[in-house]
Amino acid sequence: MSKILNFIKDIISPKYCYSCLKEWHFLCPNCLSKMKNFKEFCFVCKQLNYEFDIHKNCKKDVYYDKILILTHYKNLTIKKLIKDSKFYWRKDILEDFWQYLSTLLLKNEEIKEKEDYIIISSPMFFLRKIVRWYNHSEVLSKIVSKDTWIDCNFEIVKKIKHTKQQSKLTKTERENNLKGVFRLNYDLLDFIRWKNIILVDDVISTWTTINEISKILKNNWVNKVIWLVIASD
Ligand SMILES: [Zn+2]
Ligand SMILES: [Zn+2]
């Protein structure tokens, strides 16, 4: 009986903080601030660096310019939030992160002209999207776009093949696994030239994946590649 009552309560008042149970947010600003959050650092050498920029010396074979990460995936509350948001009907959990992600972006990237930026989602193979019902990265991209007034476009990079789970492979296997997997939409080349691309996702994928997508963009005259994610290990 209590299960049914809880279910009804969730429908009537669906937003409560996963950590302190306060209403209005799935993760309230207070609980987020108490979590162990990332200081501004370079994703390659893990040393502190202003605005999450990748150091010039760390840029060898690295194609992204900064990776903005809100919090640690090891945190059990975050883990549960992201796990629950995988269900289509709980995508409101992801949408509730809009303010945190936009603030993180605007704090660490000086955006003078919004026209110089485009928000895109991390590409997902179409069959996977059918199975999952939605692309979580698209949901996050839309909310950040709405809040920052930066245009979003989901036609720029496509994933044209299904891949094995990267985390279970060796470095060389990972690189081979990703060969020919992502394709740039060449009709949009003029649209992306000299622009700064912001990719939004829930959890940071493997280094090889983010670097491969960034490489395709950089090799096609994109000025800067920025990743904006909720959590990383
Ligand atoms: Zn809370
Ligand atoms: Zn570095």
DSSP one-letter string for 95-106: HTTHHHHHHHHH
13-37 pLDDT, tens per residue? 568 999 999 988 999 999 999 988 8
Cross-strand pairs, 23: 16
Q: In the prediction, which pLDDT does 120 show?
A: 94
Task: Indicate whether 125 and 94 sit together in one domain.
Answer: yes
Nearest by Cα to 44 from 35, 36, 53, 34: 53
Task: Indicate whether 87 and 40 sit together in one domain.
Answer: yes
Task: Indicate whether 175 and 135 sit together in one domain.
Answer: yes
Ligand nearest to the CA of 35: 1
| Residue 7: domain span | 1-32
Residue bearing the bigger pLDDT, 232 or 173: 232
Q: Predicted confidence band at 190 (pLDDT cuts at 50, 70, 90)?
A: very high
Ligand nearest to the CA of 66: 2
Task: Indicate whether 128 and 151 sit together in one domain.
Answer: yes
* Interval between CA 50 and ligand 2 midpoint (Å): 11
Task: Indicate whether 25 and 138 sit together in one domain.
Answer: no
CATH of the domain at 71: 3.40.50
Instruction: Give the chain's domain count.
Output: 2
Nearest by Cα to 132 from 181, 91, 73, 98: 91
Ligand nearest to the CA of 18: 1
Task: Indicate whether 121 and 17 sit together in one domain.
Answer: no
Task: Indicate whether 81 and 23 sit together in one domain.
Answer: no
d(CA 131, CA 154): 19
Task: Indicate whether 17 and 62 sit together in one domain.
Answer: no
* Interval between CA 68 and ligand 2 midpoint (Å): 14
pTM of the model: 0.88
